[in-house]
Amino acid sequence: MYKKLGGTVALLAVGLLSQAQKVNVPTVFVDAYKQTEVMLASIAEERGNNTDLVSPRTLENGKLKLVPAKDWTSGFFAGELWMLYRASHRSEWKAKAEEFTAREEKEKFNGGTHDMGFKIYCSYGTGYKYTKNAAYKDVIIQSAKTLSTRFNPKVGCIRSWDHHKEQWGYPVIIDNMMNLELLFAATRLSGDSSFYKIAVSHANTTMKNHFRPDYSSYHVVDYDTVTGKVVKRNTHQGYADESAWARGQAWALYGYTMCYRETKNVAYLRQAENVAKFIFNHPNLPADKIPYWDFNAPGIPNEPRDASAAAVIASGLFELAEYSKNKKEYLTVANTILQNLTNHYRSPIGENKGFILLHSTGSKPANSEVDVPLNYADYYYLEALIRSKEGMKK
């Protein structure tokens, strides 16, 4: 399937023609309600009595893969349910969102991963944004305390992974920029500035060490905890150490845009603008603006796309457009992505166990989750749709 998407003239034409069009958000949400009903039924069937499995992640050979709360993607489905509630104002969606959010709570004490932001902010954070539930605030603050235990002041960053100890002593991945949103929120909610300071230190250190002169970013930077210096720069999910893994560029764009929102530090705004420029000007960005899984993947145009990267980029661009003088350009690209995801990357209703988008890539080098639906593609797609309609208003 992905070969077909690789470089067809038809898709190229669609990409070019659709640039000025905006997606009809309420109509797309009506489809999302129907598809999520299918997902809820699929979850119930697959889960049975296994309460350790809390959330859908992807399809494996057509079968729904459910994951436990400790999985980095476990919070996205709850976040999707919150966004369906936001769009519909229907109490049924709120009840489901509360149910799936509650399944994440124990993660607030899990200090074994940097993925706290993905898990807790996308579930509890989105829920708090839409309900101001005081109990959610406490979970967010406790989660930030736990995440802060992974900060090393000598390095100036939060440690990302505890796995692959034979390969990296203190790995920090570009994805980790996304977890800073939880820390900024925790300072706002608690008045404790220590979370904010950790987030700023992480963002500054990452800005210094993760980026190449063209503003593409490395996936993994390994640090020496005694000197605080960089030991090496590698990839894990990208094609090569020196390549530009598509989702990594998306995390960078979204992450620095969010950091500008939270700090008003113009250096973060410039960083996000420069990352956007790298993405837009890359000769391997297809006309429909849905990136291949890596900008330097060797078989382009016969390489899988990554709809999740596209969704993250679109959502980030809708926010960046509110802060930058390049507003028109960012909105054009973001709307083009949304239009093409909507028209060419969605699952037919009733199929694919209820996932919304097809054609994402988790880790091509590991031959894992290639050209499949992924819950985070659906999450950022819904978020981008809401942002396209409402802007960043709370």
In the set 71, 105, 175, 306, which binds ligand GLY (CB under 6 A)? 175
Of 99 and 241, CB closest to ligand GLY: 241
Euclidean distance between the first and final Cα of the chain, in Å?
39
246-275 residues in contact with ligand GLY (CB under 6 A) are 247
Nearest alpha carbon to residue 104 among 124, 125, 84, 129? 124
Residue 34-63 contact track with ligand GLY, rule CB under 6 A, x = bound? ------------------------------
Of 111 and 228, CB closest to ligand GLY: 111
Nearest approach, Cβ of 296 to ligand GLY (angstroms)? 17
Interaction between residue 210 and ligand GLY (CB under 6 A): no
Of 87 and 297, CB closest to ligand GLY: 297
Of 331 and 374, CB closest to ligand GLY: 374
To the query of whether residue 115 is one of the catalytic residues in this protein, the response is yes
In the set 36, 216, 235, 237, which binds ligand GLY (CB under 6 A)? 237
Give me the residues paired with residue 360 across strands: 372
Residue nearest to ligand GLY (CB): 175
Q: Are 295 and 249 in contact (CB under 8 A)?
A: yes
Nearest approach, Cβ of 250 to ligand GLY (angstroms)? 9
Of 96 and 247, CB closest to ligand GLY: 247
How far is the C-alpha of 318 from the C-alpha of 261, rounded, in Å? 13
Of 85 and 168, CB closest to ligand GLY: 168
Nearest approach, Cβ of 196 to ligand GLY (angstroms)? 23
Q: Cα–Cα distances in Å, from 343 out to 14, 247, 304, 320, 356?
A: 9, 21, 18, 24, 12
72-131 residues in contact with ligand GLY (CB under 6 A) are 72
How far is the C-alpha of 140 from the C-alpha of 246, rounded, in Å? 29
Nearest alpha carbon to residue 337 among 21, 74, 109? 21
Nearest approach, Cβ of 329 to ligand GLY (angstroms)? 26
Nearest approach, Cβ of 115 to ligand GLY (angstroms)? 7
Nearest alpha carbon to residue 11 among 346, 361, 344? 344
Number of H helices, E strands in the chain: 15, 9
Nearest approach, Cβ of 363 to ligand GLY (angstroms)? 7
To the query of whether residue 175 is one of the catalytic residues in this protein, the response is yes
Q: Helix or strand or coil: residue 152? A: strand
Q: Are 119 and 107 in contact (CB under 8 A)?
A: yes
Count of residues interacting with ligand GLY (CB under 6 A): 5
Of 54 and 141, CB closest to ligand GLY: 54
Exposure of 191 by Cβ count < 10 A (0-12 exposed, 13-18 middle, 19+ buried)? exposed
Nearest approach, Cβ of 87 to ligand GLY (angstroms)? 25
Per the residue annotation, which of 175, 294, 306, 378 is the catalytic one? 175
H or E, element range at 280: helix 266-281
Per the residue annotation, which of 115, 288, 306, 378 is the catalytic one? 115
Q: Helix or strand or coil: residue 372? A: strand
How far is the C-alpha of 272 from the C-alpha of 317, rounded, in Å? 9
* One-letter-per-residue 3-state SS of 293-338: CECCCCCCCCCCECHHHHHHHHHHHHHHHHHCCCHHHHHHHHHHHH
Catalytic residue set: 115, 175
Q: Which residues make up the interface to ligand GLY (CB under 6 A)? A: 72, 175, 237, 247, 362
